[in-house]
Each structure stands twice: as structure tokens, then as C-alpha cells.
Chain A
């Protein structure tokens, strides 16, 4: 699947859990990589998200949205845990290779953003979610999404050439 596919194609409507798992795996790992700020644990976080979804898969209205929310929350917990333990994995993760300077600078800037601001940027501009959808995932109001987005974009503007 092309990486520039819209969110509905990245997270298509599922059939069986096996199909869903196979279709969602790649995008889910990448989402976890963005949100956690470190690719080293992205696959573990994605696996954990699938593990939590699986028992509820038959019941949830929108498994893809449930999976996204689970990833958002797991990555937030990872962020908090890293902060508490002063391990700062987010800032110590390896930089990307083989990307443009501007993309590398964006990557570094994203890692410095507070978690919720980073999540807003990724959910809005990578997954193409609406402010209302992002608000649901983050547990905040659409107005808060708007303000977090504005703050994040201001910071990114200051860093990107």
C-alpha cells in the first residue's frame, strides 16, 4: 500500500481479525514509531495494541479507530514512563536515515514536542483525521486540538528551514 494512501486505505474496514492484523500491522507500527519517538519499541507497542484489541474485536464498532486509540494511549504511557524514569527514550532514539534534511529536521522537532502536540500533528497531517476524531483519540475537546495544533505548528515553523 502506498505510504501516501489516505487514512481510510491505511486503516480499511476489517473482515476477520487475521486479515485486519495483516492489513493494519505496517501502518500501526509506523504510527507507534511516530508517537513514541523511537522505532526500537514501535513493533512492541503495535503488538500490544493488537493484543488488547483482539478480545474485543468482535464487539467494537470501529476496530481501526479502537486500534488507533490504543496505540495513542500506549505511546502516551510509554512517554510518561520514559519521563518518569529519566530514560528519555524519546530524545535518544536513532535519527532517520535516507530522508531529506527537512524531513530529518521535522523528525527531530517532533521528538521535542510534548506528547499531545506531537500526536495532534501525526494524527492530523499523516493520518488525515479530523479535529473531532483527534479529540476522541486524545480525550480532549476539538477546541483543544485546534490550540495544540497551532502551538505545535508554531514550534515546527521555528525549526524547519
Chain B
């Protein structure tokens, strides 16, 4: 008898020992049920199409014009839940969540709060490994937007909080693509709950998302050993600084992290113009050599920051060759030209974004 053969029976034995009563009645104390008949997923929504099309403009990310204060027009998603027919706002807070789970790719939004609140931070949660490029942005009612794209699972604290902003997130490829978009309206929960809702991208949207130049395929080959020597530079964990960005790396250890990051993993803190990005990356994505993030504050340049394992010795971005320093590389993209990232090892192994 093999363990695999025994496991179903043992698990059934444990499940049978878990005595579960009858399902409680559906009433106001449990679920606000409306006996709506099932229907097929709703038709593609114009909102998603507009948002996705506006996002992909040649380069990695597109940020709304700072001259467009109305988030219901132009490239920004609508702020009023009633603007999206059939969508039902779900209250959360102070962290507002929207997910891309199941029906993918999706374009979820963490909506504005009621009453209006300051969006102080946003990011992606539960998006370990490199399954396509994640795209987030914060569109405030006034002031510059902030956008992020990349494969790193990040949480971004903004240097200048954005008032009553709409946060959107999406993923750029089909398949095993998953992320949860979140927004922190404030740190005290005094602003009350916000809400989130989802819109499903249609075929055109998906094609637009696919056009993002730097998507890392969900089945990207894991070519390299995932060891990152810079995580052993304690007690001074600063791995990289070039005046524009500063990156600190640390091993993804400890109770709160180790169980949630495939080992060996790395946690990072990236200081960049307008924001601080933190997160952790697991073995699988590190092994692709294509763990990176692209940050843009307002209409400034796109700052590309990558974390590579020891075996990666060179990175090519847009024809420029970069040598990593302590497992980190940085490139400032001044143009909207599509960018391709290629990483290589000394023995000739290379990997590129799509």
C-alpha cells in the first residue's frame, strides 16, 4: 500500500469524524439571499474595455492624466457602483479587496470609500509565482496617479496619499493567473468601509492585456537556481542603491512569511520616487529570472526593478545591458516603447518576457 493510496481513506475518516450539523436556515442573520436564477456570465462590460485599452499604450503602464479630475471619464474607472449595471458593490475596509480569481483575466476594482477617504497604499496579495504580469493603478480625484506593473507581489505605500481614489488591478495573461488587489484607505479605519466590484474582460480586453510587452508566461521555464546571495548581507541588508531607487533584500524566513513563500524566498523593500514597495517572492518566480516590478508615479518615467538569482549575470532591457548588483537591477524607461526583458547566465542560459 502506498501513502497516496491510503490518504483518501484516512482523510475521509477524519472528515467523517468532523460532525457538521444541518445547514443553518438562510435568513437575515446568515445570508442575504435573493433567489435569483443562475445565468451565464454577463456580457463584456464597456468599463473593462475602456480601462484595459487605456492602460496598454505602447509601454508597460499608462497613468491617467493629472488634468482629468473626473474619475468617471477618460481612462479612469467609474466611481459610482450604480454606473456598472449588474455589479454589486461588496463592502470591506479599511483594506478593500478585489480578486482576479476564477474567471480570468478580470478587471476588479477597489472602489472609492463612502465617505471619501485617502488611499494611502495599494498592492497585490496572494499572487505568488510568476503568472503573467500584474497591473495595478490608483486613480485619484485630483493629483497624480500611481501605477505598478510586474510579476512581483507588492504592497505599495504611497509617499503622497491619494484622495478618494479608485484602485484597479488586472492580470495580463490567461491561464493560472491569480492575484488579489487591495487598497488601504487609511490606517485607522475611521473612514469607514469602501467597496469593491469586478468586471470581466472580454476577448478584446484579453488581447489588449496580452499586448503588454513584459508579461511573464505562467509556464515560464525555471532555468536558474533560486539562490540569492544578497540575502546574507546582514546586518546591513541594503542590496542596491543608485540614487534613484534603493532596494533591501532579506531571506523570507520567520513564522509570518516562511509558510507563505516557496523556499528559498526573498523579501524586498524598494524605495523609489513616490512610494515604497514591499513584498516577498518565492523560489519558482526567482528561478525564472524574471521577477520584476515597474513603477510609475504621475507621468514620470517607468522605474523597472528586478531581483535575480545568483546565476543571472546580465539583464538586457530595450537593448541596454545591465549587470546586477547584489542580485538587483534597475532600469529607467523614459519612452513608451514596448520593453522586453532578457536575462542570461554566464553559461549561456537565457529567458525573456513574452
Most buried by B among A14, A62, A100, A144: A144
Q: Flag if A59 contacts B131 (CB, 8 Å).
A: no
Q: Flag if B37 contacts A61 (CB, 8 Å).
A: no
Q: Which of B9, B33, B218 contacts A17 (CB 8 A)?
A: B33
Q: Flag if B260 contacts A80 (CB, 8 Å).
A: yes
Q: Flag if B128 contacts A139 (CB, 8 Å).
A: yes
Q: Which of A84, A98, A126, A135 contacts B15 (CB 8 A)?
A: A126
> In the complex, what distance in Å separates the CA atom of A160 from the CA atom of B4?
12
Q: Flag if B31 contacts A140 (CB, 8 Å).
A: no
Q: A42: which B residues are within 8 A, CB to CB?
A: 18, 20
> In the complex, what distance in Å separates the CA atom of A98 from the CA atom of B17?
7
**With an 8 A cutoff between CB atoms, is B322 at the interface?**
no
**With an 8 A cutoff between CB atoms, is B238 at the interface?**
no
- A103 and B10 contact, Cβ closer than 8 Å, known pairs A14-B38, A29-B20, A126-B15: yes
> In the complex, what distance in Å separates the CA atom of A58 from the CA atom of B38?
4
Q: B18: which A residues are within 8 A, CB to CB?
A: 29-30, 33, 39, 42, 96
Q: Could you tell me the dominant secondary structure of chain B's interface residues?
A: loop
Q: B42: which A residues are within 8 A, CB to CB?
A: 59
Q: Flag if A141 contacts B219 (CB, 8 Å).
A: yes
- The residue of chain A having its C-beta at the shortest distance from the C-beta of B179 within the complex is A139
Interface membership of chain A positions 3-21, coded 1 if the CB is closer than 8 angstroms to chain B and 0 otherwise:
1100000000011111001
Q: Which of A26, A30, A121, A140 contacts B23 (CB 8 A)?
A: A26
- How many whole Å from A121's CB to the nearest CB in chain B? 7
Q: Flag if A43 contacts B255 (CB, 8 Å).
A: no
> In the complex, what distance in Å separates the CA atom of A60 from the CA atom of B88?
13
Q: B131: which A residues are within 8 A, CB to CB?
A: 139-141
Q: A132: which B residues are within 8 A, CB to CB?
A: 176
| Number of A residues with CB within 8 Å of any CB on chain B | 75
Q: Flag if A3 contacts B12 (CB, 8 Å).
A: yes
- How many whole Å from B155's CB to the nearest CB in chain A? 13
Q: Flag if B178 contacts A136 (CB, 8 Å).
A: yes
Q: A51: which B residues are within 8 A, CB to CB?
A: 30-31
- The residue of chain A having its C-beta at the shortest distance from the C-beta of B284 within the complex is A144
Q: Which of A18, A60, A66, A80 contacts B256 (CB 8 A)?
A: A80
Q: Flag if B33 contacts A141 (CB, 8 Å).
A: no
- A141 and B284 contact, Cβ closer than 8 Å, known pairs A66-B102, A115-B260, A122-B11: yes
Which residues of A in the span 92-138 have a Cβ within 8 Å of any Cβ on B?
96-100, 102-103, 106-107, 114-116, 121-122, 125-126, 128, 132, 135-136
Q: Flag if B8 contacts A128 (CB, 8 Å).
A: yes
> In the complex, what distance in Å separates the CA atom of A76 from the CA atom of B102?
17
**With an 8 A cutoff between CB atoms, is B129 at the interface?**
yes
- The residue of chain A having its C-beta at the shortest distance from the C-beta of B42 within the complex is A59
Q: A125: which B residues are within 8 A, CB to CB?
A: 4, 7-8, 11
- How many whole Å from A38's CB to the nearest CB in chain B? 11
Q: Flag if B17 contacts A73 (CB, 8 Å).
A: no
- How many whole Å from B168's CB to the nearest CB in chain A? 18
Q: B176: which A residues are within 8 A, CB to CB?
A: 132, 135-136, 139-142
- How many whole Å from B182's CB to the nearest CB in chain A? 11
- How many whole Å from B239's CB to the nearest CB in chain A? 26
- How many whole Å from B209's CB to the nearest CB in chain A? 17
- A106 and B101 contact, Cβ closer than 8 Å, known pairs A139-B128, A140-B176: no
Interface membership of chain A positions 42-58, coded 1 if the CB is closer than 8 angstroms to chain B and 0 otherwise:
11000100111011111
Interface residue ranges, B against A (CB under 8 Å) = 3-4, 6-18, 20, 22-24, 26, 30-33, 35-42, 86, 88, 90, 99, 101-103, 126-129, 131, 176, 178-180, 198, 218-219, 222, 255-256, 258-260, 262, 284
